[in-house]
Structures are given as C-alpha cells and as structure tokens.
Amino acid sequence: MTHLTIRRPDDWHLHLRDGAMLTGIAPESARHFGRAIIMPNLIPPVVTGDQACAYRDRILAALPEGADFTPLMTLYLTEQTDPADVVAAHRDGIISAVKLYPAGATTNSASGVTDFDKVRGTLEAMAEAGIPLCVHGEVVDSDVDIFDREAVFIDRVLEPLRRATPGLKVVMEHITTRQGADYARAGGDTLGATITTHHLVINRNAILVGGIKPHYYCLPVAKREEHRLALRAAATSGNATFFLGTDSAPHIDPLKENACGCAGCFTATNTLSILAEVFEQEGALDKLESFASLNGPAFYGLAPNEARVTLTKGDPVNYPAKIETGDGSVTVFDPMMPLHWRVEE
Ligand code: NCD
Ligand code: ZN
C-alpha cells in the first residue's frame, strides 16, 4: 500500500500552552488534526468555565487563517471546584471534560487533588451529567518507585474511585504499562484510554542508555520494552477502548536541557507520520483510522470528522528538528527511525 486516506484525526490529549508558545506551536497541531482535548495545566490553571472560555478564545486567535481545528476545552479539577460551574460549563458547550491531576504528579500539577473525598461531589455531578473525567494516573507517594506509579494508581486510586462513582466516564490518559492497557480493556463502555505517539516508539532505554536524553523524558515516564509492546498491541488492535492522545507537551530547549529538565515530548509536528510507520510495522495500517480518528469521538459521543487526510509512502520525510517560537526553540520528538509516510497538505 502506498496511499492511505483516513478521516481527519483528533488528538484527545494536547498541551497548547499560552502566549508566544501557543502562537508558535498551535499551527503544528492545526495542520493535521481536526479537534483536540486541550489540557488546562497553565500557570495559573484553568479552573472555571469563564477561564476555559477565555483560553479557548486565545487558542482560536492563535490559529492560522482558515485552520480546520476545534479546541475542546477542559477544566482542571481542584479541591475547591464548584460542581455547579462544571455542569454549567459543559451544558453551555464550553468544556468537553474535566482533568484530574494528583497534586505533584507532573508539570504544573501543584493545584491538583490530594484528598479525593473533597472532589466526590464534583465527580458525582459529572457522572450525572455525562462529563468525562480525564485522569493522570500516577500516585505521587515517595515510597513508590516512579516506574510503578501507574500500576499502583490503578489499584489504590482508580478502581476505588470508579466503584464509588458508578457511571462516571473516565479516560485513563497516556497509559504506559501493560497493567494500564489490561485494566482499560476490561473496563467496559465507561472507560477509555489514550496512548501517546512517543510511548509507542520509545522504552526507558531511550532516555538512559548512552547518556541522558532529556527530550525523551516525559511523564508518565517510558517503561520497559514489554510495556511498549503491550501499548503497540493495544493501539493497533482496533479495540474502541484505545485512542490517540499525543500528550504533545512543548518546553523550550533550555528547560529540557537542564540539570532539572522539564517532562514532556513535543510530537505534534510529526505524529501522523510516526503513527503510520508504527502501524505499518505492526501490519495494522487498516487500524490507524480507528485509533486516530474514530474511537476517540465515539467515546466522547461525537461524530468523526468529515474531512479526510491522505498519507503517501515514499522516500523518508524530513521534519524540522526544532520549532522556533517567541519564547524560544522547541525540539521536535526524534523517532530514531526514517519516516516514509508523508501527510499530503
Ligand atoms: C506535561 C506537561 O509538560 O504539561 N508533561 C508530560 O511529560 N507529559 C504534563 C503531563 O501531561 O503530565
Ligand atoms: Zn499531558
């Protein structure tokens, strides 16, 4: 096969940031994606419907003329979140989901949740209104090894939370483990899971072998090879539980290449070419559309995009190594393999 035409994909987990960074990187997602779930972890975080509305306007203003891209906004769940504000923002079409960060789990998560009893009322209101909860699934306990934090979160937090709030739609975001994929697969209609592009490509060796590679450091951190293979099997299975959330998370190079480097891989620019390569390697090009364009909208109760994109196989495609923004340069994720599938513009 040398041509592949699929529905225009969506990105169900994206960091667009704000200000000059937003202006610099928004075109990278708008080029190939129809919609994206926009993460609310700005400083300060997006916690009210009014703030989500204002942030959406700033995103729309940053898009190139004529872009076919709709930001789907989220609210950042805090222990002070007002359930009525969440329900109203969803009813008014301002937000599509709410994001749960355990406090301290990742970049800009200090306002996240420590005491889950304090968000019980909001979760119940969300279950009632059919508002999905997007979950960063890692415990933050210092006694839990960073490579075990996702698996432990499932047992200690996610399973009890789902039992306590029947009917709540939950997205396990950026799963990185076999345990995450297995739990998601067994979770029924109310449970979905996003998988990033980079976790299909790298295992933890990419970060640590031959010198420390800060551009491969993200959270949840990439795990052992067995987990990468489990994620590839899940993503390429066609199972409706699994859909694309790139977690493309730009940081300027000085903050990545630093004694205490930020977490995040920036994959917006070359994601589709990488995914086509991965799905072809797995003999599953026919499942790419399910993963990137169909399963996500079905979970969110939306129609797939009407527009199509075509990928063409040929000589390796060269993507820029960096995107220049008004805040500084951002390194594009290097998949360490030639990419033969070009997205027709
Ligand atoms: C994200 C970021 O930089 O905002 N970083 C990351 O490594 N994925 C936060 C997140 O989604 O965990
Ligand atoms: Zn993220």
- Burial of 140 per CB tally in 10 Å (0-12, 13-18, 19+): middle
Domain ranges, ordered by start, for the chain:
3-343
Question: Residue 293 corresponds to which tokens in the numbers above?
Answer: 């364009």
pLDDT of residue 275: 99
pLDDT band at residue 50 using 50, 70 and 90 as cut-offs: very high
- Rounded distance between C-alpha atoms, residue 313 and residue 3, angstroms: 6
Domain 3-343: which CATH number of 3.30.70.1290, 3.50.50.60, 3.20.20.70, 3.20.20.140: 3.20.20.140
Q: What integer pLDDT is reported at residue 341 of this predicted model?
A: 98
Mean pLDDT of the 247-262 span: 98
CA distance readout (Å), 245 to 11, 171, 305, 309: 5, 10, 16, 18
Strands ordered across the beta sheet of 341-343: 3-7, 308-313, 341-343
| Alpha-carbon gap, residue 126 to 109, rounded angstroms | 21
Amino acid at 113: V
Q: Is the pTM of this model over 0.95?
A: yes
What is the pLDDT of the chain when averaged over all its residues? Answer: 97
- Contact in structure between 334 and 198 (CB atoms under 8 Å): no
Query: Is pLDDT above 90 for 345?
Result: no
Nearest CA-CA partner of 134 in 185, 172, 186, 181: 172
Whether the predicted pLDDT of 276 surpasses 90: yes
Q: Do β-strands 35-38 and 341-343 pair in parallel, antiparallel, or remain unpaired?
A: unpaired
183 has pLDDT over 90: yes
Statement: residue 255 has pLDDT above 90: yes
The three state secondary structure string of the chain is CCEEEEECCCEEEECCCCHHHHHHHHHHHHCCCCEEEECCCCCCCCCCHHHHHHHHHHHHHHCCCCCCCEEEEEEECCCCCCHHHHHHHHHCCCEEEEEECECCCCCCCCCCECCHHHHHHHHHHHHHHCCCEEECCCCCCCCCCHHHHHHHHHHHHHHHHHHHCCCCCEEECCCCCHHHHHHHHCCCCCEEEEECCHHHHCCCHHHHCCCCCHHHCCCCCCCCHHHHHHHHHHHCCCCCCEEECCCECCCCHHHHCCCCCCCCCCCCCCHHHHHHHHHHHCCCHHHHHHHHHHHHHHHHCCCCCCCEEEEEECCCCCCCCEEEECCEEEECCCCCCCCCEEECC
Beta bridge partners of 4: 311
Q: Separation of 197 CA from ligand 1 center, angstroms? A: 14
Average pLDDT for 119-131: 98
User: What's the rounded mean pLDDT across residues 129-143?
Assistant: 97
Least confident of 17-26, 88-97, 107-116, 229-238: 107-116
Q: What is the pLDDT of residue 82?
A: 97
283 CA → ligand 1 middle, Å: 30
Q: How large a percentage of the chain has pLDDT more than 70?
A: 100
pLDDT at 230: 99
Mutate to test the pocket of ligand 1, among 11, 12, 13, 15 (most ligand atoms within 8 A of CB): 15
CA of 326 to the centre of ligand 1 (A): 21
Q: Is the pLDDT of residue 68 over 90?
A: yes
Instruction: Determine the residue of 106, 139, 140, 207 to mutate for testing ligand 1's pocket, defined as the one with the most ligand atoms within 8 A of the Cβ atom.
Output: 106
pLDDT tens track for 138-169 = 999 999 999 999 999 999 999 999 999 999 99
pLDDT of residue 311: 98
Q: Is the pLDDT of residue 21 over 90?
A: yes
pLDDT band at 105 (very low <50, low <70, confident <90, very high): confident
pLDDT on residue 160: 96
User: What was the pLDDT predicted at 106?
Assistant: 84
